[in-house]
Amino acid sequence: MKSNSPHELISSTALLVAEGRALSDIPYAKEIYEELLALSLTPPDIKEGYNLSFIGFEARYKLLNKIIQERDVTQVLDLAAGFAPRGLDLTRDQKIKVLEIDLADVANSKRKIAARILQKTGELRPNLKIFEGNVISLEDIMGTINFFDPTKPVGIICEGLLRYLTPDERTTVAKNVRMILKKFGGFWATSDIFFQTMITDDIHRRNALVSKLTGRDVEAGRFKDTTEAKSYFENLGFAVEMRPMTEVAGDLVSAGIMGVPKEEEEDDISDRVVFIMEVTHS
C-alpha cells in the first residue's frame, strides 16, 4: 500500500536513523538494520557531514526509554515510530503493550521486519501492534488505541517527528496527544525540542541536507529558547518537565565506534533535551 500522505518524504529519514542506531548497543537495532538491507531498503546517501547526528539518535532513544522505565507504564504509544527497536525491545516483557503508528509504507515494512526477526527466535508478540496512520489525524490514532486497557495510563513517545511539521501541524499533534492522555492518563515524552540557538554552521549544513530530502524546512519551526518552548506546550494544556540528554552520556557507545572524540560527543548533545508532559486540569 502506497502512502498518499504529503508527509511521505519524511519517512526516508527513518532509514537514516535506523543506520545510526545500528552503531549502538540498543537491542534489536542491528537486526532491524540488517533486515532493512535484506529488503533493499537503504538509507539516503547524505551521511557526509551528518554522522554526528548518530550520537543524538542513540542519546534520545536511551533517554526516552529511561523515562518509560522510571514511570513504570505498561502501555506505550510510539508516534511515527519509524524503524525504532522500542516495540520489539519492550514487549519482551509480556506485561507491556506497545502500539506503533506510522505511514503505510513504513508500517508495512516494519511489520515484515518484526515478523522476520521473531520468526528466527520462534517468538510471538501479541503485545506488539504496528498500525498504519498519520499522527496528525485524530481519527487514525483513535482507531488504533482500543488495543490499550482504558483503565491503565499510557506513555506516549515522539522521537524524530515534530521537527518536520509546520507549527500548525505540531499544534494538531499536541492536541491529539492531549485528548489521548485525558482518556487514559499518563505522559508524553518527546525529544523533538529544538532551539534557534542550536544552529551552528555545521548544524545548518546537516539541516539543509535533510530539508532537501524531505521537502520540509527543519529550521523554520524551532523555538527561540526553552522559555518559549515550555510556554507553547503549557498554553496547550500541558505541565512540562525538561530533562537533558547528557543524563545518558555515560551510556553512549556509537561515538566510540565511529571514532568520535569524547568532547565532540558531549558537545553534540550538550543542548539537547527531552520534554515530559502531563495534562493539566485547566
Q: Looking at 114-118, 207-211, 257-261, which range is the least confident one?
A: 207-211
Share of the chain above pLDDT 70, in %: 84
Residue with the three cell numbers 547528557 = 246
Q: Is residue 259 a contact partner of residue 49, using CB atoms and an 8 Å limit?
A: no
From CA 96, how far away is CA 55, in angstroms rounded? 27
Burial of 66: CB neighbours in 10 Å, binned 0-12, 13-18, 19+? middle
Question: Percent helix, strand, coil in the chain (nearest 5)?
Answer: 50, 15, 35
**Domain ranges within the chain, ordered by starting residue:** 8-279
Exposure of 78 in the CB half-sphere (CA atoms within 13 A): 29
- What pLDDT score was predicted for residue 2? 40
Segment 126-142 shows an average pLDDT of 95
Tell me 222's DSSP state. -
- What pLDDT score was predicted for residue 204? 57
CATH fold for the domain made of 8-279: Rossmann fold (3.40.50)
> In which band, very low, low, confident or very high, does the pLDDT at 195 lie, cut at 50, 70 and 90?
confident
